[in-house]
Structure 1
């Protein structure tokens, strides 16, 4: 993880996200069977609500192209296909609908948030996301 200089955002890596999350085994009274409550490292908690950037592959999850994720891996080898865990994706809430397509390699910046309790949401998300494509 690179530290920001001045008002610059922190650059996250997928390893930062993987190393910074821990699951409580056998969460009692889980809303969704198999969902594990997450706790996060002090380094990640310090970034809650802060501007960050990360590079990954865009996943588009609905036909209306309104649900977006950033993934450590392209769609053919992403978390949903068994390659990696739930820490290898993050939800993206763009400020305006992006023109990117599935599997575009993007550098995304925005406000970082973590989720340790809602089984209907990703463990990580970026709000007010803005992106630049490398394709």
Structure 2
């Protein structure tokens, strides 16, 4: 059974990370992915949108897939439906991503276990903004 990292580990993760690739970042300001990403950007994180069919969100160049990025981000934050998580995790494993965050309601225990087995730190079914506010701000 999956368990999230302890609060101290989540705090450390948020302090170490500088660049966050946000899979499913919407260009629409009313969407949670946009609001959370804009807030994280205001806290000093570089937000890199990963979403097909958009060229830019929040002033940053967007990429259709993680594998299209010219670098490996410090954290991959996923705003996609739970059934879409497995291929994202597979891509993260192939790219050597070290941290994956699955937002509130995004749950795939099998994919999370696969990521952990590959040495990836996984946070699941939590909000990165809320945890930042609780542990850092």
- TM-score bracket relative to the smaller structure: under 0.3
Q: Give the structure with higher Rg (CA).
A: 1
Give the structure-1-normalised TM-score.
0.26
Judging by fraction of residues, say which structure has more strand. 1
Give the structure-2-normalised TM-score.
0.26
Judging by fraction of residues, say which structure has more helix. 2
